[in-house]
Amino acid sequence: MIDISLIRTNPDLVRENIKKKFQDAKLPLVDEVLQLDKQNRESIQRASDLRAQRNKISKQIGVLMKNGQRDEAEAAKAQVAAINKELPELEEQEEKFAEEIKKRMMVIPNIIDASVPIGRDDSENVENERFGEPVVPDFEVPYHVDIMERLDGIDLDAARRTSGNGFYYLKGDIARLHSAILSYARDFMIDRGFTYYVPPFMIRSAVVNGVMSFAEMENMMYKIEGEDLYLIGTSEHSMIGKFIDTILDEKDLPQTLTSYSPCFRKEVGAHGIEERGVYRIHQFEKQEMIVVCKPEDSMMWYNRLWQNTVDFFRTLDIPVRTLECCSGDLADLKVKSCDVEAWSPRQKKYFEVGSCSNLGDAQARRLGIRVKGADGKKYLAHTLNNTVVAPPRMLIAFLENNLQSDGRIRIPEALRMYMGGKEYIG
């Protein structure tokens, strides 16, 4: 959510930003906000004037009564009564105006960074850089589920019986590999100075509304029936929500956090939940990184965050690239975002394994996350998040890139201590 003062002072900038995101249907919202804001401020001013008038008249009533001017005093009392009748109406009006303004402000997109490429959708995202040499082996790389089944590491049939499509049982060495990757990711981020968290896996609607756009919420979140609770789609939701309605001391910034959680997603509007596969699923686990920082530091942290993910994947001998998200592919709260994509030897192309986002002060404005500066003045923090790793999707890249010609899976050195010293599985 942007600052309403930006709409007041530079509505053309807001309109131009909406056009850059190819959301022209939202253009009328700018004029609607301007009109509602004008009416609201007039209403507030009218209420303020009436209160001042009431105070003045109230003081006169005592003087009039003391001087025996009963008729004048009664007339003054009638004026006060009229004011007292109008004020609640104005206050109710203010609430309605504020609600209507917020409703519109919540769907006007955040101002994107000048460096964001302009494009309609993800087909126009721009490759930034490649890390590691993508290799296609001289033997056939099977589908990832086939690899797992050969290693007796997955049971999709049982999961369909218990839960439906989009769920899985991992077992044996594959389940151990899954846990090993998460443990390694945890320690990798701790070694980089991040504080480890295990957050709540359910959050209230006030936090949901603060951390994501309405469209994302509708497509992602599972609601707990009969309670004001949602299952998280990523631990970023809980971790940013941790700071709701808080004032942070500037000297305590940046807050650099890394969190583990299961994640639950409806995947509405996706290309469908695979019957055989773990790429797009309803439940998975993830290690996340989150930063709360001063505004002037957020772009520096943005670059450090995506680099952390690149470095993590390279220690596991997986080639990756970064892909800059174009304007039309950015969620409304984001200022700038890039995907980290891993190489798939089977498909001979890259696929998404993580996403890094700078949200500016949008989440902080919605959640009331403020910073008290050295001068005592308060300002809104900036928030960022990035995926460290999200198995089992990451397992696809791991298995394909570490598959040997004899069907075994090589364990990179960085992961061996988490796998009981094993160099291979299978």
The structural architecture, per CATH, of the domain 4-105 is: Orthogonal Bundle (1.10)
Task: Find, among 128, 129, 132, the residue nearest to 401 by Cα.
Answer: 132
Residues of the chain with CATH 3.30.930.10: 122-425
| Whole-number Å distance between alpha carbons of 426 and 424 | 7
pLDDT in tens, 192-204: 999 999 999 999 9
Q: Which residues contact 183 (CB under 8 A, 6 or more apart)?
A: 418
* Token pair of 199 as six digits: 């957050």
* Token pair of 262 as six digits: 């299961």
How far is CA 209 from each of CA 264, 308, 395, 424, rounded to the nearest angstrom? 17, 28, 32, 45
| Whole-number Å distance between alpha carbons of 145 and 26 | 43
Q: Which residues contact 50 (CB under 8 A, 6 or more apart)?
A: 83, 86, 87, 90
Q: In this structure, how many other beta carbons lie within 10 angstroms of the beta carbon of residue 12?
A: 8
Q: Tell me the β-bridge partners of 294.
A: none
**One pLDDT digit (tens) per residue for the chain, 426 residues:** 899 999 999 999 999 999 999 999 999 999 999 999 999 999 999 999 998 989 898 888 878 888 888 888 888 888 888 888 889 899 999 999 999 999 999 999 999 999 999 999 999 999 999 999 999 999 999 999 999 999 999 999 999 999 998 899 999 999 999 999 999 999 999 999 999 999 999 999 999 989 987 667 777 889 999 999 999 999 999 999 999 999 999 999 999 999 999 999 987 555 555 667 888 889 999 999 999 999 999 999 999 999 999 999 999 999 999 999 999 999 999 999 999 999 999 999 999 999 999 999 999 999 999 999 999 999 999 999 999 999 988 999 999 999 999 999 999 999 999 999 999 999
Quick check: 338 and 304 in contact, CB under 8 A? Answer: no
Task: Find, among 185, 310, 203, the residue nearest to 259 by Cα.
Answer: 185
Residues of the chain with CATH 1.10.287.40: 4-105
The reported pLDDT for the residue numbered 313 is: 97
Enter the CATH code of domain 122-425.
3.30.930.10
Count of alpha carbons within 13 angstroms of residue 280, beta-carbon side: 13
| Whole-number Å distance between alpha carbons of 121 and 329 | 5
Q: In this structure, how many other beta carbons lie within 10 angstroms of the beta carbon of residue 169?
A: 15
Strand order in the sheet with 126-131: 126-131, 320-324, 336-344, 349-358, 382-389, 283-293, 255-264, 195-197
- How many Å separate Cα 373 from the centre of its chain? 25
